[in-house]
Structures are given as C-alpha cells and as structure tokens.
Structure 1
Amino acid sequence: MTRLTSSVLIAFTFLTAAASGALAQDIDLAAGKSSFNKCLACHAIGEGAKNKVGPELNGLDGRKSGTAEGYSYSDGNKNSGITWNESQFKEYIKDPKAKIPGTKMVFAGIKNEQEAGDLWAFLAQYDKDGKTK
C-alpha cells in the first residue's frame, strides 16, 4: 500500500467514525437544562441571574475561575489558574474538590461523560449578560 493510499484510508476512517458519532458525542441541550436542575440550589444562569450559595454562571466559557463579580470565592478557586472551557469544566464537574482543592463547592460530581457534555453545552450558550448566543 502506498503512503498516499494509507493516509487517505486513515482520513476516511476517521471522518466516517466522527460522522457516526463514535468520536464526537451528540449534544442534547434539553438534557443539559435538565441536568442543571442539580445545580439550581446553588447557582443561577440567564438574564437577571444573581450569585447564590455559588456564583452565577453567565459567561462561564472563557471566564477565569474565581472572578464572578460580587461572589466571595475560596482561595482555591481564585488561585486555580483555570480559564473555563469544555475540557476544564468536564474534569472539574467529575470531582470538584479533586480539581480545585479548597473549593467551597459541595457537590459529589457528575461522572457520566454525556451528561457532563450536555450540561457544559447548556451553560456555554449563555453570554456574560445571560442571553443565549
């Protein structure tokens, strides 16, 4: 097999797997909204969201940890160096205390990869003003 044929075959296999969902999960915003119900006791999102026991989550995608205005963060969150994105969030939400030692967040975590991805997609759709993008 020639090098070009081998490369084309690898690319075709990758694209076929990705199209079939084998490499990328299908995002379900409704499921993410439903999953957010686990967060509602402590967090708010959307227009008019205010800090509660935890910070409001508007504009989370790209926000530095420990910077929501008016919220009193733990030193662990303020000094974590995290800028929230999908991969950081998914790692965090599995076990918040393991990802950020000293966090005030008391939550057992979401271990299911699909649920964590759906929740991230739901959260990431809100800009800093609480409007959906």
Structure 2
Amino acid sequence: MTRTFIAAAGAAAALLLSLPALAEDIKETVCAQGTYSVPCPKVVWCPAARCGIAVARPDGMIEILYSSEEKMGRTVRRPTLAGKPMDLQNLAGRVIVFEWEDSGDIGRDGADLAVKDIVYVVMPPRNAG
C-alpha cells in the first residue's frame, strides 16, 4: 500500500507541477490517503471489523447512520456497555464512531446494542460557543 500511495502522490505532484498556473486559477485539490485539504474530507478509519457511525440522542438511544453490518444501518438502538445502558447525555447530538459486539439482534430496531468502545466523537471547535 505504501508503494501505491507514494506512486499516486508522485503522479499528483507531477501533474500539479506541470500545471501550476491552472492549479492556482481554479484551486484544484488532490486528495490522497492520509492528507486533508479543503474541500477533501478527512478520512476516519475505524480500527475494528464491527464498526458503526451514529448520532447520540438525549433519550439515551443512538441513531445508526452506518454500520459494517448493513442490517443494522438506519436503526435506532440503546447502547449498552457490560450489560448496562450507556449514559451518552453529554454526547447528545454528536456523531460517534463506535465498535460493537454481535448480540444476535443485528437487524431489530430498538434492540440493545453491545458497544465495545467509542472510538471517535465529532465535537465542535473549541471557540464555537
């Protein structure tokens, strides 16, 4: 993968160096793995096979936007940790990336979801109020 990345980065650099005026005029950007520049999105890597992205709700439930298991996507679940409901009130409205464990109720809306770890929480900038 490193050789591929270096080759892609080299090709992108050569392209940009060959067209510097054009790149400045239209503000073209080259997105490459491991880099971030506007308007390229940051890439969030989940270190687990069973991953999900959700929005925490004030009622203690999470709305799952994406899951590595398609049946679980677009469901609402109650996250649990060691068999007890998780308190996510301080994360209400925030996007979380989490690792989950299979409890056997993958596709059932409203079922408890055993969360192994919350990997990332998307928070507003410190000066955003």
Give the TM-score of the pair, scaled to structure 2. 0.26
Tell me which structure has the larger Cα radius of gyration: 2
Give the TM-score of the pair, scaled to structure 1. 0.25
Larger relative strand fraction: 2
**Higher RCO by CA contacts (8 Å cutoff, separation 6 or greater):** 1
Larger relative helix fraction: 1
